[in-house]
């Protein structure tokens, strides 16, 4: 479920967190931030009990902190496909951030659509 856009102050804070994640050295070659990032607020869908257990028991699953209806932000860093070639997605990166604790938990890269843990410590 997609929830309406946030206030400018909320957007600014969430985009700031996402930028810190995306500016990590391992993403340097893929970094694009010349179009204003977009922020959406989503809710995690309820899952069957067996699927929840499977996710929580897998230490490599990036969704292991998911709870039914837990809200999270998706910050999308758009690209210009006329300038930025080599991207398989229509974005440079998407950073997923939990709403309740503002902790980033996934970064998807637009070059390959793969998700990675952000390896980020809040400062």
Query: Is 110 inside a domain boundary?
Result: yes
pLDDT at position 29: 85
Residue with tokens 């690209």: 79
Q: How many CB atoms lie within 10 A of CB 116?
A: 15
Is it the case that residue 21 has pLDDT exceeding 80? yes
Query: Is 121 inside a domain boundary?
Result: no
Q: Report d(CA 111, CA 26) in Å as an integer.
A: 14
Is it the case that residue 3 has pLDDT exceeding 60? no
Q: Report d(CA 17, CA 73) in Å as an integer.
A: 11
Q: b vs e for 7-29, b when ≥16 Cβ sit within 10 Å of the residue's Cβ? A: eeeebebbbebbbbbbeeeebee
Interval 30-65: pLDDT, tens: 888 889 999 999 999 998 999 889 988 988 888 888
Query: Is 91 inside a domain boundary?
Result: yes
Query: Is 65 inside a domain boundary?
Result: yes
Long-range contacts of 104-109 (CB under 8 A, 24+ apart): 104/17, 104/18, 104/21, 105/62, 105/63, 105/65, 105/72, 106/62, 106/63, 107/21, 107/22, 107/27, 109/27, 109/30
Average pLDDT, the chain: 86
Domain count, the chain: 1
Query: Is 122 inside a domain boundary?
Result: no
The percentage of the chain sitting over the pLDDT mark of 90, rounded to a whole number, equals 45
Provide the domain limits for residue 39.
2-116
Query: Is 123 inside a domain boundary?
Result: no
Query: Is 112 inside a domain boundary?
Result: yes
Query: Is 46 inside a domain boundary?
Result: yes
């Amino acid at each position: 479920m997609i929830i309406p856009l946030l206030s400018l102050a909320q957007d600014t804070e969430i985009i700031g967190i996402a930028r810190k994640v995306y500016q990590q050295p391992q993403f340097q070659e893929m970094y694009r931030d010349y179009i204003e990032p977009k922020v959406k607020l989503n809710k995690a869908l309820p899952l069957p009990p067996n699927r929840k257990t499977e996710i929580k028991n897998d230490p490599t699953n990036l969704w292991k902190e998911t709870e039914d209806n837990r809200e999270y932000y998706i910050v999308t860093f758009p690209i210009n496909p006329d300038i930025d070639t080599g991207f398989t997605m229509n974005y440079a990166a998407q950073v997923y951030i939990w709403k309740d604790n503002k902790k980033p938990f996934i970064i998807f890269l637009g070059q390959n659509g793969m998700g990675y843990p952000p390896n980020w410590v809040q400062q």
